[in-house]
Amino acid sequence: MQRLLSSEFVHNYRHNIPAVLGSLLVLAFAFLAIFGPLLVWQDPYDVSQLELMDSFKPPVWLEGGHPRYLLGTDGQGRDVLASIIYGARISAFIGIAAMACSCVIGTILGLISGYYGGMLDAVIMRVADIQLSFPSMLIALFLMSAFGNGIGMILIALTAVGWVVYARTVRGSTLSEIQKEYIQAARVAGLSDTEIIRRHVLPNVLTPLIVVSTIQVGSFILIEASLSFLGVGVPITEPSLGLLVKEGFDVLFSGIWWTSAFPGLFIMFLVFGINLFGDFLRDELNPRLR
C-alpha cells in the first residue's frame, strides 16, 4: 500500500485536476447510489409514502417550494431527489452489468480470434465489422423493439452492442503479445494453449481494457437513458434516470421543468465525471503515449 501511494501513478493522478475532479464526481455518485436510500426520507415507489396533494411542487428555493422536497416533486407527489437517487441505482447497475457482460464475452472472443487466427478469427472479426457499420443506438433500439423491454433485455442489447470494442482491443493486443518470446517460452515449457492464454496472454492484454471499460460504462448509461427516454428501455416500475427525464418531458412545456432537468443534469455530470477519469487512465496506461 505504501508503495502504491508513493508510485508515479498516484503522483501523476494528484497533479491532474480533471482526473481528481472526475473521480470525485464518480465517487460522489457511487456514494449516492449505494447509501442514497438511507439519506432520503421517501421511497418514491412505495405508494403509501406518497402524498398526492404534494404533486408538482417546485424546488425548495422557488415560490411554493416545500422544504421536504429539495428538488421538487412530480405529478404523483414523488420527491425528485429521491427518484433520482433510486433511478441512479438502476442506471448504474445497468451500465456496470452491461460493461461486465460485454467485457467477458468480448475478451473471450478477442482472445480466441487473436490467438488462433485463421477461420475463427475471420468469422468473429467480420461479425464485428458488420456490427460496427451500424450505429450502436440503432442496434439496441432494434433489439429492444423486437424482443420487448425489461432490464434483462437491456443488458442483452447493450452487450450485443458493446462486445465489439473489447473483442477488437483484446485481439489487437493478443496479436502483439503472441509475437513475444515469453509466449514461445511458455510453449517450450510445455503449456497447453488454454494455459498459455489464461496465464500469459490474458494478464497482459487486460490493461487497455480498464480504459475501455471506464468509457464504456459512461456510454452504456447514456444509451440506456436514450432507450428509456424513447420508451423502449426499463419498465415503468423500475425507472432509471432516462425514464425520469422522459416522464418529466411530458409536462416540461407546462412550465414544470424540474422533473426532467435534474435527472438530465445528473446523467450529464455522471458521464462527464466518468469520462474525465477515463481520459486520465488512458493517458497513464497507454504505453504508446509514454
DSSP state letter for 128? H
Our finding on whether 46 is near other proteins (CB under 8 A) is no
Distances (CA, A) of 121 to 44, 113, 207: 49, 4, 22
DSSP state letter for 6? T
Q: Which is nearer to other proteins, 182 or 272 (CB)?
A: 182
Our finding on whether 145 is near other proteins (CB under 8 A) is no
Out of 146, 185, 265, 268, the only residue in the binding site for other proteins (CB under 8 A) is 185
Q: Which is nearer to other proteins, 68 or 180 (CB)?
A: 180
Out of 45, 66, 139, 187, the only residue in the binding site for other proteins (CB under 8 A) is 187
The 3-state DSSP class for residue 73 equals strand
- Determine the interface stretch with other proteins among 15-23, 49-57, 194-202, 261-269 (rule: CB under 8 A): 194-202
- Determine the interface stretch with other proteins among 21-29, 133-141, 180-188, 259-267 (rule: CB under 8 A): 180-188
DSSP H or E segment with residue 196:
helix 193-196
The 3-state DSSP class for residue 79 equals strand
Out of 191, 251, 252, 261, the only residue in the binding site for other proteins (CB under 8 A) is 191
Our finding on whether 55 is near other proteins (CB under 8 A) is no
Q: Are 69 and 54 in contact (CB under 8 A)?
A: yes
CB of 77 vs other proteins, minimal distance in Å: 55
Q: Are 144 and 83 in contact (CB under 8 A)?
A: no
Our finding on whether 4 is near other proteins (CB under 8 A) is no
First CA to last CA distance, the chain? 24
- Determine the interface stretch with other proteins among 65-73, 77-85, 139-147, 181-189 (rule: CB under 8 A): 181-189
Q: Are 107 and 166 in contact (CB under 8 A)?
A: yes
| Angle in degrees, 0-180, between the axes of helices 136-147 and 207-230, rounded to the nearest 10 | 50
Q: Which is nearer to other proteins, 34 or 122 (CB)?
A: 122
Our finding on whether 158 is near other proteins (CB under 8 A) is no
Q: Are 224 and 91 in contact (CB under 8 A)?
A: yes
Q: What is the DSSP string of 207-257?
A: HHHHHHHHHHHHHHHHHHHHHHHHTSSS-TTS--HHHHHHHHHHHHTTT--
Q: Which is nearer to other proteins, 37 or 117 (CB)?
A: 117
Q: Are 80 and 73 in contact (CB under 8 A)?
A: yes
Our finding on whether 182 is near other proteins (CB under 8 A) is yes
- Contact letters for other proteins, residues 86-115 (x by CB under 8 A): ------------------------------
Out of 138, 184, 231, 286, the only residue in the binding site for other proteins (CB under 8 A) is 184
Q: Cα(222)–Cα(25) distance, rounded to whole angstroms? A: 16
Our finding on whether 209 is near other proteins (CB under 8 A) is no
Our finding on whether 193 is near other proteins (CB under 8 A) is yes
Our finding on whether 186 is near other proteins (CB under 8 A) is yes
Q: What is the dihedral angle through the alpha carbons of 87, 90, 96, 97, rounded to the nearest 10 degrees?
A: -170
Our finding on whether 135 is near other proteins (CB under 8 A) is no
**How many amino acids of this chain bind other proteins (CB under 8 A)?**
20
Which residues of the shown chain bind other proteins in the complex (CB under 8 A)?
8, 11, 180-182, 184-193, 195, 199-200, 203-204
